[in-house]
């Protein structure tokens, strides 16, 4: 006998339980059989749909994971290739080698790679999550609207953080400054020791460390990119021979340009630009040269030292400033050794009579 026949025979004449009340219906074996049959038929009818949904979800997740790994590796290889290209292309140029040092390249590539990988992961995983939800026939419109409202609220609440982050991203992408550069950020100035997406760390002239938020930087003056200018102004007497002055300065410039290590610091010959100003009692001669970034101060100090020694040897006098008066020899004051009269002195003494002013002659009355 089959199982349905047994169940129907067993449930044909159920005996009422003594504890059952007349108004309460008790599920029978027929009800259980009907429910089981309905569940089996529902599973049989929808198993293909659920299997298709599961396979689609698994396929979406696998594709997203593979795509994320491929994109992240591609970004890493691209950043490494850019670093190798920049390093190889700048190896023949002293300027390029100074603009991008090893630590600066490392931090810049790490920051750019981190940003690109995070953006790629967010886009890939977010798109996969939306596709999985749409596979389950979930309406995404309320979810997207809620996410938009939450994004606007977070944007208003953390606008300073977003501003710092975006400013840091653009500063790094545009290579406005890097580790080792000396910059003037307006709110602080010093040498860059770390570049972050939100904060830049500077070391000041006195050794202090400044934490500057990238969103607060309105303008940046980079003193380490390109080249620097070393300028020395020499103030001499207006009576000096110009030819002798120019010849002395030219000799100092040529000699310094050929000596080490100044020949490496100088990126152009030291030029005697001529007279910067001419006054009644003095004139200013200017000497200038292009130097490596950060070496202008050292070159100026050495140039002043050499110019002073050359002027002493050539008997060229340097005055104190553009308006400094010249010291001229004057005749000694004959009254400098005469003491001032005392209140206790004798007015009838020969010394007092000699110091008394001569009274003017008086005219006679009626003349």
Higher pLDDT, 143 or 285: 285
DSSP code, position 229: E
Position 67 scores a pLDDT of: 93
In the predicted structure, residue 99 carries a pLDDT above the cut 50? no
CA angle 137, 139, 141 (to 5 degrees): 155
DSSP strand pairing (282-291 vs 209-213): unpaired
Burial 252-264 (b: 16+ CB within 10 A, else e): bbeebeeeeebee
The distance from CA 273 to its chain's CA centroid, rounded to whole angstroms, is 35
Higher pLDDT, 12 or 296: 296
Q: How many CA atoms lie within 13 A of 273 on its CB side?
A: 15
What would the mean pLDDT of 99-108 be, rounded to a whole number?
62
What are the distances in angstroms from CA 268 to CA 135, 257, 285?
69, 9, 19
Mean pLDDT check: name the lowest of 155-169, 183-197, 348-362. Answer: 348-362
Q: Where are the beta strands (DSSP E) in 204-256?
A: 209-213, 221-222, 228-237
Verify cis geometry, omega within 30 degrees of 0, for the bond prior to 261: yes
Q: What is the DSSP secondary-structure string of 114-147?
A: HHHHHHHHHHHHHHHHHHHHHHTT---HHHHHHH
Position 66 scores a pLDDT of: 93
Task: Give the whole-angstrom CA distance, residue 286 versus residue 284.
Answer: 7
DSSP strand pairing (182-184 vs 189-195): antiparallel
What would the mean pLDDT of 333-350 be, rounded to a whole number?
59
Mean pLDDT check: name the lowest of 78-92, 255-269, 278-292. Answer: 78-92
> Which among 203, 206, 205 is positioned nearest to 193, based on CA atoms?
203
Higher pLDDT, 7 or 117: 117
Task: Tell the burial category of 38 from Cβ atoms under 10 Å away from its Cβ (0-12, 13-18, 19+).
Answer: exposed
% residues pLDDT > 70 (the chain)? 68
What would the mean pLDDT of 19-36 be, rounded to a whole number?
63
In the predicted structure, residue 322 carries a pLDDT above the cut 60? no
Position 90 scores a pLDDT of: 47
3-class DSSP assignment, residue 321? coil
In the predicted structure, residue 363 carries a pLDDT above the cut 70? no
DSSP strand pairing (189-195 vs 221-222): unpaired
Q: pTM for this one?
A: 0.48
CA angle 34, 36, 41 (to 5 degrees): 95
CA angle 355, 358, 362 (to 5 degrees): 160
What would the mean pLDDT of 35-56 be, rounded to a whole number?
74
Position 65 scores a pLDDT of: 92
pLDDT tens sequence across 308-319: 999 888 888 888
User: Phi/psi at 328 (nearest 5 deg)?
Assistant: -110, 145
Position 63 scores a pLDDT of: 93
């Amino acid at each position: 006998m089959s199982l349905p026949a047994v169940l129907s025979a067993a449930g044909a004449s159920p005996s009422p339980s003594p504890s059952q009340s007349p108004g309460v219906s008790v599920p029978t074996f027929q009800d259980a059989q009907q429910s089981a049959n309905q569940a089996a038929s529902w599973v049989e009818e929808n198993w293909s749909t659920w299997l298709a949904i599961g396979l689609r979800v698994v396929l979406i997740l696998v594709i997203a994971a593979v795509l994320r790994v491929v994109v992240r590796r591609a970004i890493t290889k691209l950043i490494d290739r850019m670093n190798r290209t920049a390093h190889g292309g700048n190896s023949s140029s002293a300027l390029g080698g100074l603009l991008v040092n090893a630590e600066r390249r490392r931090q810049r590539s790490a920051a750019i790679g981190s940003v690109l990988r995070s953006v790629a992961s967010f886009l890939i995983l977010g798109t996969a999550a939306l596709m999985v939800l749409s596979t389950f026939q979930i309406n995404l419109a309320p979810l997207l609207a809620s996410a938009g409202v939450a994004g606007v609220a977070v944007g208003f609440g953390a606008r300073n953080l977003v501003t710092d982050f975006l400013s840091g991203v653009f500063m790094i992408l545009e290579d406005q400054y890097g580790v080792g550069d000396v910059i003037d950020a307006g709110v602080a100035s010093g040498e860059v020791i770390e570049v972050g997406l939100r904060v830049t760390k500077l070391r000041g002239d006195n050794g202090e460390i400044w934490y500057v938020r990238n969103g607060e930087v309105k303008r940046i003056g980079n003193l380490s990119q390109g080249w620097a200018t070393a300028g020395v102004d020499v103030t001499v007497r207006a009576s000096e021979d110009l030819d002798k002055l120019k010849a002395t300065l030219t000799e100092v410039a040529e000699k310094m340009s050929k000596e080490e290590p100044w020949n490496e610091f100088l990126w152009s010959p030291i030029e005697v630009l001529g007279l910067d100003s001419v006054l009644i009692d003095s004139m200013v001669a200017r000497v200038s040269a292009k130097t490596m970034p950060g070496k202008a101060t050292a070159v100026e100090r050495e140039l002043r030292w050499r110019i002073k020694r050359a002027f002493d040897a050539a008997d060229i006098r340097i005055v104190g400033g553009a308006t400094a008066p010249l010291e001229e020899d004057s005749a000694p004051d004959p009254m400098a050794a005469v003491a001032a009269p005392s209140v206790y002195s004798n007015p009838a003494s020969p010394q007092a009579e000699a110091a008394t002013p001569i009274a003017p002659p008086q005219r006679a009355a009626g003349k």
